Amino acid sequence: MTQLYFLCTGNSCRSQMAEGFARQLAPKTWQVASAGVEQHGLNPLAVKVMAERGIDISQQQSTLIDPEYLNQSDIVVTLCGDARDRCPVTPPTVKKLHWPLPDPAQATGSDEEILDVFREVRDEIQSQVAQLITTIQTTD
């Protein structure tokens, strides 16, 4: 069984979307979670753009990093530099990956322009998660 952990600053957008895609795409035997170095609550625009892909993340919660889950994970993916820099030290058995993605919650402009940024980040996360799962399955 593979255990994945997606981390970002507030666990409100990027890591939540990554968790949603991984839960959909990964084998059901995998453990998948997300967390943040802070708790900012679940961003409603992240929920909206994920629903456009048929994935409901509305019941997910913004949580802080769980050191026990972190240390037992096979792979930890940080989705922003802040989470990478502030992530607690992990045992050498934990593989760490970094996907430097822009924070869609910082987008400015019209409502539609902001949604477009959320969609762009969502699509990049979907691609990265799918590639990660394929890579893990190929090497197992």
pLDDT digits 0-9 by tens, 52-84: 999 999 999 999 999 999 999 999 999 988 888
Given 80, 83, 117, 125, which residue is catalytic? 80
| Annotated catalytic residue 87 | yes
Nearest to 99 by CA among 114, 118, 117, 121: 121
Given 87, 105, 121, 132, which residue is catalytic? 87
Residues 110 and 135: their CA atoms lie apart, in Å, by: 38
Q: Taking 90 as the threshold, does the pLDDT of residue 86 lie above it?
A: no
Given 4, 5, 7, 8, which residue is catalytic? 8
| Annotated catalytic residue 80 | yes
Nearest to 98 by CA among 18, 10, 1: 18
Supply the pLDDT for residue 90: 85
| Annotated catalytic residue 13 | no
| Whole-structure pTM value | 0.95
> Across all residues in the chain, what is the average pLDDT?
94
Residues 138 and 140: their CA atoms lie apart, in Å, by: 6
Strand partners of residue 33: 5
Supply the pLDDT for residue 140: 66
Supply the pLDDT for residue 59: 96
